[in-house]
Structure 1
Amino acid sequence: MTDLLYSADEEALRDSVRALLAAHAPGQRVLARLDGDDPYDGALWARLAGQLGLTGLAVPEAYGGAGAGFREVAVVLEELGRAVAPVPYLGTTVATRALLSCGGSELLGRVATGDCAVALAVCFATAPGTRPHPLAVAPDGTLSGTVPGVADALPCDVLLVPAGDGLYAVDAAGPGVRMVPVVSLDATRTLADLVLTGAPGRLLASGAAAWAALDDALTAGAALLASEQVGVAQYCLDRTVGHVRERHQFGRPVGSFQAVKHRLADLWVEVTEARAVARHAADRLATGHAEAPLAASLAQAYCGPVAVHAAEVGVQLHGGIGFTWEHPLHLYLKRAKSSAIAFGTADRHRAAVARLVDLPAPGHGVPVA
C-alpha cells in the first residue's frame, strides 16, 4: 500500500518552498511581470535552484545532488502550482529524468547546483508512449529541423533533442540554434518553436536506450504535472472559500448560501481525491514501480480536469472581480487550461489507462446488463 501522506521531511520542504514563494513571488508580483518583456523570474529561479537546491532533489549524491527523489520534487511542484511561479522547474525536472535514464551525465552535476537549466525539446503536448518526429542528423553530427511548442526552452541553457536515432545535448546559446517565442495562453510558462540549422550536438544515448529515456521523461512529466495541477486547484479553492466568507450579499456572507456551499464542498472532494491520485503517481515514479506509466496516465486523466474546474469555479464565485486582469485568478485559469493538454490530454490518458489494464473496447467481450 502506497503511503500517500507527507513525511516530516516533505512537510518541512513544503514549508520552506511556500515561505520563499510568499516572500518573493506573491500574486501581484507575478502579475506585474507579465507586463514586461521576460515573464520568467530569474531572481526567483536562482533562489530556488541555488539557495534551496531544489533542482538537485532527484539527482544522486554521486553527481552532487541531494539524492532525494521524485516524491520531494512533486511537493515542490505542488507549491509552484499554488503560486503559478514563472520558473522553468517542470521542464528542468523532466529533462533531468531523461538524463538519469541515459545512465548519468556531467550535466546532472550542473543541474544539481542550479548552474544549468535543461529542457526536453519536444512539443509540450507530447504524451508518454509517443515518438515525436526526430530531427535530421548530418554526417558531421550536426542537427537540423524544427520542434514546435517547446515549454521552458527560452530560459534554458541546454536542450535535450531527439534526432535521428538518438538523444543529443545541444547548447541553447550555441550556433545554429534559434528559438522563436510563441504567443501562448499561459504567459507564466512560455512556449517556443525551436529551429536548428546545423547545430552541434553531443550524443547522450542511441537506439532503444534513447527512446526509453524519452518515454521515461514524458511519463515523469505527466506524473509530476499532476502535483502542480493539484497546487493550482488548491489555491483556487482556498482563495474562493476566503472570498465567499468575506463577501456579503443581502446582509449575509455569500458562502452561507446553500448553492455556494454545495459547489465548494463538491470541489473540496475533487481536490482531495486529486491529491491522492497525484501522490500515488509521484510515489510510483520515485520507486521505479512497473505501474508508473499507469499511475501517470491515471493522474493526468483526473487532475487536469479538476484543476480546470477549480479555476472556473473560483472565477465564477468571485463575481465581477474574478474576471478582471488585476485579480490573479485568471493566471490560474490559464495555467490550468494550458496544462490540460500538456503531456497528453485527459481523454488520451483515459485511453492509455484502458490499454494498460487490458480493458476491452465497448462491444468486445463486455457483457451488457
Structure 2
Amino acid sequence: MNEATSTVTDAAIDWDAFVPREETQAIVEASRDHFAALFSPDDLRRTLDGGARPDVWDPLVDHGYTLIGLPEELDGLGTLVDLTALLEEAGRALLPAPLLTHAMAAQLLLVAGLLDETTAASRLAFALVRGEELHVFDGADADVAVSVEAAGGASVVRVFTLTGVARAILPAVDPSHPFARLPLDGIPSREHPAPHLDVALAAPRTCVAADLVGVAARGLDGAIAHALGREQFGRPIGSFQGVKHQLADLYVLLERARSLTLGSAVAAASARDSGEASRLSRLAKATAADAAARSVALQTQLLGAMGLTFESDSPLAVRRARHTIPLLGGPGQLYAAVAAESLGGAR
C-alpha cells in the first residue's frame, strides 16, 4: 500500500476533536457577526457592475482570522477544525476577501515545512501553473503565491514572490474573488519536495469544502425562509410535499458534506502525511460541491422569476458556488478518484 492510500489508525485519531469546543463555537458566532458588519449584499452587487470589492482584508488580519489553524510557534490560534468552522462562515457570508486562498496556501506551506513567521504574515494565495503562466486564485493583491505539482510518487511545492509584479486580472464568474494571471518568466521562486500530490492537497481541499458548505448553508437557509413565508392556495409553499422533500434531501446532503469536512480536518490535523486525510478531503470537497450547486439552484427555483433578478441575493450565491466548485477538482472527478483507489486497494 503506497503513501497515498495508507490509512490512519484509530489510535492516531483525536476523537475528542469531533466534539464541538467552546472556542470553536465562539469563532463561529464572532465571525458571523463580524462579517455581517463588514459588508452587505449591496456591496457585492456593486462588484458585478464593475465596482471595486469591499476592502475588508485589514480587519480580518487585525482580528486574527489569518492565524487560525496555524501552529502555536507561529502565533497560531486553534486547529484545522477551527479553520474549517471559520471558512464555513466565510462561505455563508460570501466574504469578498481572499481568506480562503490565504488559508489554502498556508496549509500547503505547512505540509511542505515552508511556513515561517515572515511567510505567515504575508498575503498568501493558492496558485496553479498553466504552461508558461501562473494562475493565482483570488490573487489580485497577493504578495506570495503557492502551487504544488506532481513529481513521480511525490510532489513539489513552489513558492512565488509576487511583490511588485504586474498581473492581469481575468474575468470571473464571481468578480469578488478574481483570478490573476502572470507569466512565469521573471517571477522569483523556490521549490521544496512534498508528499504525494493528493496528500499535500488534503488540507487545502478541506478548506475549499468548508467554504462550499457555507455557501450551501446560505442557500438552504434562504430556500427555507422563502418556503415558510411564501403562500399559495392559502398555505406556505413549504407545506407542499414537492417542496419539503427537496428541502429535506438538501439538508441531509449538507450535513453529509459538513460531517465529511470535519472528518477530513480531524484526519489532516492528526497526520498531515496521511492518505486517509487525502481520501476524506476528496469526498468532502465533492459532496460540498454537490450540496452548494443543489442548494443555490433550489433557492433560485423556489424564488421563481425573482430569483433571477439583480435585486435578489440568490445570484450572488450562485456565482460564488459556480466560481469555487471547479477548484481542486469537480465532484465527478473526485468521486471517480476515490472509487478507483478503493477498487485498486480491494484487488
TM-score by structure 1 length?
A: 0.81
Of 73, 87, 102, which residue of structure 1 is paired with 2:83?
73
Tell me if 1:122 matches 2:109: no
The correspondence of residues 1-369 of structure 1 with structure 2, limited to 5 A, is 2=15, 4-39=18-53, 41-42=54-55, 44-51=56-63, 53-66=64-77, 68-106=78-116, 108-109=117-118, 111=120, 115-122=121-128, 145-148=132-135, 150-160=136-146, 167-174=157-164, 177-201=165-189, 203=190, 205=192, 209=193, 211-212=194-195, 216-288=199-271, 290=274, 291-359=276-344
TM-score by structure 2 length?
A: 0.85
Q: Distance in 2 between matches of 1:328 and 1:247?
A: 16
Range with bigger deviation, 180-189 or 229-238: 180-189
Range with bigger deviation, 322-331 or 10-19: 322-331
Q: Distance in 1 between matches of 2:72 and 2:182?
A: 32
Q: Distance in 1 between matches of 2:200 and 2:179?
A: 18
Runs of 4+ in 1 over 4 A off after TM superposition: 161-168, 213-217
Deviations 1:5-49 (A, max 9, x none): 42211111100100101111332332234334432x32x221122
Q: Distance in 1 between matches of 2:147 and 2:240?
A: 54
Q: Distance in 2 between matches of 1:265 and 1:167?
A: 42
Range with bigger deviation, 247-256 or 17-26: 247-256
In structure 2, relative to structure 1, the CA distance for the partners of 1:88 and 1:216 (3 Å cut) is: farther
Range with bigger deviation, 152-161 or 13-22: 152-161
In structure 2, relative to structure 1, the CA distance for the partners of 1:259 and 1:215 (3 Å cut) is: closer
Q: Distance in 1 between matches of 2:62 and 2:43?
A: 21
Q: Distance in 2 between matches of 1:276 and 1:257?
A: 29
RMSD (CA atoms): 2.6
Q: Aligned letter for 1:119? A: A
List runs of 5+ in structure 1 lacking aligned partners: 124-131, 134-144
2:201–2:278 CA contact under 8 A, matched in 1:
no
Give percent identity, aligned residues only. 30
List runs of 5+ in structure 2 lacking aligned partners: 1-9
Q: Distance in 2 between matches of 1:162 and 1:269?
A: 34
